[in-house]
Amino acid sequence: MLPGMVLAEAQSLWPSSASKAVRFEPHDPRADRQGLRELAAWCQQFSPLVAIDTAEPPDSLLLDAGACEYGFGGEEEFADKAVNALERHGYRAVAAVADTIGAAWAVGHFGMLKRRVLIVPLGRQTDFLRPLPVESLRLPAGILQALQELNVFRVDQLLALPRAGLMSRFGEELLPCIDRALGTLPEVLTPERIDEPLEATWEFEFPTTNSRQLIEVIEYLVDWVLAKISLGQDGVQRLLCSLGQAREEPLRFSVELLRPTVAKRTLMDLVKLKMERLRLPGEVTRVTVRAALVVPLAFHQDELFGGCLGTSDAKEVGELIERLSSRLGEKAVLRPRLRADAQPEFVYAYEPWLMNRERASHASQPAETIRPTFLKSRPLPILVSTNPDGSPTQIHASDIHQAIERSWGPERIETGWWRGDDVRRDYYLAETETGERFWLFHDLTSESWFLHGIFG
């Protein structure tokens, strides 16, 4: 599709009777960049330094040939082998080799003239750049528009202009773009950081169903993974284990922790609890262990006099939760968590203690909202006497008959039509003569009063 072309127009250009159907997909810039990152990792077989170009959106890779071309028989052979390998990988590619990143990018995008490989001789980048359009210098859109308004379309026309007036006329970004392409201003190649998966695999010569043997293999693989992690300050918070079988799908299970760790004993204790619950449908041919979530280790300073729940106590509680979750299942060990909802009955939900951190809910009540420490499971119907403004003055229930000394409110709470039963309430915080505090609401639909909560 051309820039600015609408989808319907693009679809109309391809006749419905064509032999090969065309599939139209929405553009996903994140997927494009992830694809380039994966391709950059693959291209490390040609150079240890591979970067994604800084254009927006990026559409090419930059490789630092350095001394690598000598291992391939020269620059042209180096580039030719890279292009051939990419084409076998399913891509249509061209390659330009030059002294500078800017010249290689410019020639690769605008100067190939149907060639697959083009080598810019040493020190000749200016000659190759002159006939190219000014877009080849990777200029910002505003500068390109200003140059086109002055009928400056090629690099040689731009270089013919007095250099002293370029900055004042076109801004500070133009000269660095020119100098980087010509090689008078150095440009640093920032390679993609390729994260190797922290995993290890064991292939069995003879398949097995022996649980003790499987645990020994997992322990060996966990040792290997931890050795890779212990070089830094990180720890494992989620460990994935996969037991491959010859004719069945791999049997997978995960070990979740509240806090990251590099302690093999902690991980293996949880692995053994998981293994106790597994039922192997067949013989295992392969075991894979992967550190799926690696995060910085948490360090805590010990308190001088301790507290109601010291660091050691919190650690023991965490280990208990991890062991119970591994033995009973993650969905069997729950905790309440606040969530954003207008209706008080639904401001909390139960979720697994070891819920994945990426999916964990962080919603909470606003700091200024006052809520009771005890909320009744079902609001209790009561009789209330009110002032002319609607605020409560007396409460009458089965075991409560008290006058209201002070009250705060109303706080209007309503739910949307999509919720089902419409909820329209005015809430009041009411303090009695004896100092008790109740959370009352007036149902605006039924005109009834209810006791919903008690403040401790």
pLDDT beyond 50 at 399 = yes
Tokens 């609401």 sit at which residue? Answer: 441
pLDDT digits (tens, 9 = 90+) for 123-159: 899 999 999 999 999 888 889 999 988 899 999 999 9
Residue 365: per-residue pLDDT: 44
> Would you place residue 358 in the very low, low, confident or very high pLDDT band (cuts 50, 70, 90)?
very low
pLDDT beyond 90 at 448 = yes
pLDDT beyond 80 at 280 = yes
Who's near 112: CB < 8 A, 6+ residues apart?
94, 96, 118
Question: Which stretch of 163-167, 241-245, 301-305, 328-332 has the lowest confidence by average pLDDT?
Answer: 301-305
209-215 average pLDDT score: 91
> Would you place residue 277 in the very low, low, confident or very high pLDDT band (cuts 50, 70, 90)?
confident
254-260 average pLDDT score: 84
Which is nearest to 329 in space by CA: 420, 402, 256, 235?
256
Who's near 15: CB < 8 A, 6+ residues apart?
none
pLDDT digits (tens, 9 = 90+) for 174-208: 899 999 899 888 888 888 876 677 889 999 989 99
360-384 average pLDDT score: 69
4-26 average pLDDT score: 66
387-403 average pLDDT score: 87
Evaluate whether the domain defined by 199-296 bears CATH number 3.40.190.10: no
437-447 average pLDDT score: 92
pLDDT beyond 90 at 450 = yes
Cα Dmax for the chain: 98
Tokens 């809430």 sit at which residue? Answer: 427
266-277 average pLDDT score: 88
CA dihedral 260, 263, 269, 275 (to 10 degrees): 70
Indicate the pTM of the whole model. 0.49
Q: How far apart are CA 314 and CA 309, in angstroms?
A: 6
* Mean of pLDDT over the chain: 82
> In the chain, where are the structural domains located?
28-182, 199-296, 333-367, 374-455
Q: How far apart are CA 404 and CA 426, in angstroms?
A: 17
Q: How far apart are CA 99 and CA 123, in angstroms?
A: 7
**251-261 and 234-245 beta bridge pairing:** antiparallel
